[in-house]
Amino acid sequence: MVQTTKSYKIIISGGGTGGHIYPAIAIANALKELDTRTEILFVGAEGKMEMQKVPQAGYKIIGLPIAGIQRKLTPSNLLFPFKLMNSLLKARKVISDFKPDAAVGVGGYASGPLLYAAAGRNIPTLIQEQNSYAGLTNKWLAKKAHKICVAYGGMEKFFPAEKIIFTGNPVRKDILQANQKRKDALEYFKLSENKPTLLVIGGSLGARTINETLKASLPALSQANCQVIWQTGKFYYESCKQAAAGVSNVHVYDFIAPMDLAYGVADAVISRAGALSISELCLAAKPAILVPSPNVSEDHQTKNAMNLVNNGAALMVKDVEAMEKLVPAALTLLNDTSQKEQLSANIRKIGKPDAARQIAEEILKLIR
């Protein structure tokens, strides 16, 4: 732990999905490890999951009334200018009251007003871009940011090259020890140690295509010599749980809090290709089949996935082909020891285990 003569105040803003929230919490934890006296305030979007997850992690959060722009004309789009102005005014008040030494944005529309207001007060700002295709908010903020931490090469096409620092994506520490927790994981999920385990995750909000594919494939899964941990997301949980009732080797969860245990027991993983999921898979070194979501800006999940596929570090099934190909590919992978070992070895090389600490150190350098 490195303690300075002065304690710092730092605002971290952003959110909307777990892909933004959990990296933000990892950065906050790393800052606290460097100096326990550091005071951290989160700023998120009212009504979004960060308003629950951040306090659970032990940090204070303030919500802004900001909302995203819908791709089609909706009444909420007409309200956007008013929400943006209101959010800017509130962000300025937060900065006046908290007096931060630095402001950090992790993406998502909640970070826009806060970092814009911070830059207007000449407060050092850093943004962290998780994806291989930069988000709209981060592209907008890039000109004003002092440093930009990225997880993929080639980000000069979005950001000024002189501001870019390649750090990887921050991931909570417990994922690093996942493979040492197999015994605890078997007990937690009530699984057999004699059967291979398939972990199916669709992100914090769930993934409709993956869930529908699993539902349609329950007869095949029930006959296979494997066991399945299926994280559905809260929107799909009831229908998936009902569909899997009576299929004894398929265990359905709406949300899995101890993801370290889930990775610890998994022999193969089906996952969306969000930046957080990929970063966790790299650090847990798990053989994975990625199913990129087609419902994200600029198809960035496909770009994330192809970065691994091109390095022999993961397999990919397109969303439109999932119903036909996904479960057969997963069952084949589960029974192919050689391919699992190769994918695991290659994905491990891509992981950046010290990303959170490196980003925290860059924030402190900015202040000093």
Binding-site annotation, residues: 17-19, 131, 172, 204, 256, 301
DSSP-H helix ranges across 35-74:
50-56
230 alpha carbon, distance to own chain's centre: 18
Rounded to an integer, what distance in angstroms lies between the CA atom of residue 73 and that of residue 203?
27
Residues paired with residue 150 on neighbouring β-strands, in sequence order: 129, 166
Under a CB-based contact definition with an 8 Å cutoff, are residues 362 and 167 in contact?
A: yes
Tell the residue number behind the tokens 């080639």, with chain if given.
154
Residue 27 token pair: 């950065």
Strands 268-271 and 250-253, by their bridges, are unpaired
Cβ atoms 246, 220 nearer than 8 A: no
- Residues comprising the binding site for UDP-N-acetyl-alpha-D-glucosamine? 17-19, 131, 172, 204, 256, 301
End-to-end CA distance of the chain: 17
Calculate Rg over the CA atoms of the chain: 21
Q: Which DSSP state fits 313?
A: S
Buried b (16+ CB within 10 A) or exposed e, 116-140: bbbbeeebbbbbbbbbbbbbebbee
DSSP structure string for 223-274? HSS-EEEEE--TTTHHHHHHHHTT-TTEEEES--S-HHHHHHH-SEEEE---
Q: Which residues have a Cβ under 8 Å from the Cβ of 280 and sit 6 or more positions away?
A: 171, 175, 259, 263
Sign of the dihedral through C-alpha 40, 354, 104, 15: negative
How many helices (H) and strands (E) the chain has is answered by 15, 13
CA separation, residue 1 to residues 356, 359, 364 (Å): 14, 15, 13
